[in-house]
Structures are given as C-alpha cells and as structure tokens.
Amino acid sequence: MDTPRPSVSVVIPFAGPPGDLDRLAGEIQRLRTKPGDELIIADNRQLRTPRPAGGALSRQIRLVGAGDLPGPAHARNCGAAEAGGEWLVFIDSDTRPDPGLLDAYFHPSPAASTAILAGNVVDVALRPTLVARHDVARARMSQSMTLRRRGTPYAQTANCAIRRSAFAAVGGFDERGRGEDADLCFRLIRAGWELEERPEARVEHRAKESFRPWLAQQFRHAGSTAWLNRRWPGEFPAPGLRFLANRTLHLGGQVARSLIRGDTEQAAFAALDLIRVLAFQLGRLGPKRARGWNRG
C-alpha cells in the first residue's frame, strides 16, 4: 500500500514582465495537486502591492509580495514564510514543470533523515539559436553537474524540494550572497540531513537565446562560486593558471580541428566553451555581495 504523499507548497520567485507572469500562472496550473497543496508566486517586482498586470491569476495561485529587497533568495524566503505544506518545492519562473511533478517527488517516500530532494532539470531551446543549442547540447542545467561534483553535492533551486521543518531550522536561504541553493544544501547536510535524487520529478528549463544574456549568466554563476568558496573554503576553489592554460589550448584546438573538418557547429560550440571558461574566471573577481537576480 502506497503511503499518501505529504502536502506541498510550490514556491516560485518572479521578477519578470507582466506577460511572463500570466504565462507562468498558466504553466503551474497544469500541476496535479491535492487538498493541502499550495501554489505560491513570490513577486519580487518593485511594487507597493503585488498584482498580476495581465490576465487574472487563478484562485489556485497565491501572489505573495517580496518586493522590498531584490533577489531570488529573498523572494523564496518570503514565499516559504507564507507556506503551510510539509515540503517546499522550489522551481524557477523560466521552467515548465511536468504535470506530475509533485507526485513524482514522493515516489518513493523520502527517508525520515532526508531534507533535500533533487529533481530533474532538462535544458530546452524554444528558439534554436546558437547559444540555446549549445546549452542544450552541454546540458548546462543538469542536476548531475551539482550532484556529482568533487565537493559537497547540492540541488539547484531550478527544481528541488526541501522539508519545511528543516528549512526553518537552518534559517532558510542566505540573502547576503549568491549561490543560495548550494549554501542552503551545505548547511542542511552539515546539520545531519540527507539528499535524495528524484529524476522523474522533471522540469524543462528554457535556455538563453542570445549571446549577451548568456554571457551575463556566466559572470553571475562565477560570482556565485566565488562567494560560496569564501563562505565554504575549498568547496569551489579557483583553478590555477596551468588549468586555464591547458583548457584554453584544448578548446582552441577543438575549434581548429572542427573548422578543418568543416563542422562549423562544433567549432562554434567549442568557441562558446572557451568564452565560458574565460568569463567564468573573470566573473570570480566581481562584486562580493549579491546584486539583484542570479537567474539560471
């Protein structure tokens, strides 16, 4: 006999244009819910009163004001503070969840010692631009990137579930810096909680479509790793000059070999890989505090 799944509060930070809010509301209403579940959008727009600017939101969805401080960590904390579910499911506003996401998270039931469930994030290209195709090919948002890293594993808030009692016990997300998903998982794991994977709990993540936002994303992610390594020494060490030199030579060689073969797609992908490596290292030298949104 299957154990009934616990109640869930879905919390989504939002700071986009009005049309995106209506799109987001339409997509999360596809989720299969049960009595006691909640759908919460934490509105991080700088508004006096949170409101949808386009079509009306469904009565299923609660819009929570989170506009007093910019940033997704603050928005998620505001949404979680209003939540009543036994588990908090965090997804990003640029994802599209499978309708069965919530049930998939709790099949099988998590162990009593588990506080973190890592769902599946699949990169998709809504428009097949070069940078979008590149990120889909490289599976940039895959949870395997963070679950099978050399340091402490963590789940990305693009799609993860956190036991609400454990979330409250460690103080929720740290709003002072970047990389709040890794930081939260590190604190939970060091407090004795465990992490489980849920590959069937799936969302699609929309890849960046143009070069400038894609490049800005690399700098933001780099800033996250720099902040995390200051907070958790050794978790995200900066690579040495030898690594950077070897990586640059390797990727430069890939570009040249692909061009010789006439494979311009792979040459462009390797060139983007090289740009990403260099931007990532430059981004580690950026601001030490969070500044606005650190979207995926």
8-state DSSP, 11: E
- Locate 26 and state its tokens: 């339409």
pLDDT tens digits, one per residue of 72-88: 999 999 999 999 999 99
pLDDT tens digits, one per residue of 175-193: 988 899 999 999 999 999 9
pLDDT tens digits, one per residue of 17-66: 888 999 999 999 999 999 999 999 999 997 756 555 444 466 689 999 99
- For residues 155 and 185, is the Cβ–Cβ distance under 8 A? yes
Residue 280's pLDDT is 87
- For residues 215 and 279, is the Cβ–Cβ distance under 8 A? yes
Find, among 223, 248, 250, 220, the residue nearest to 238 by Cα: 223
The SS3 call for residue 236 is coil
Residue 123 has pLDDT above 50, yes or no: yes
pLDDT tens digits, one per residue of 238-280: 988 899 999 999 999 999 999 999 999 999 999 999 999 999 8
Handedness of CA 7, 24, 72, 204 (dihedral sign): positive
Q: Give the span between the Cα atoms of 249 and 22, in whole angstroms.
A: 46
Residue 54's pLDDT is 44
- Locate 168 and state its tokens: 């409250």
Q: What is the mean pLDDT of the chain?
A: 92
Kindly report which listed range (79-83, 89-93, 168-172, 178-182) carries the lowest average pLDDT score. Answer: 178-182
The amino acid sitting at 135 is D
The amino acid sitting at 214 is W
Q: Phi/psi of residue 68, each to 5°?
A: -80, -25
Q: Give the span between the Cα atoms of 4 and 107, in whole angstroms.
A: 10
pTM of the model: 0.91
Residue 53's pLDDT is 44
Residue 18's pLDDT is 85
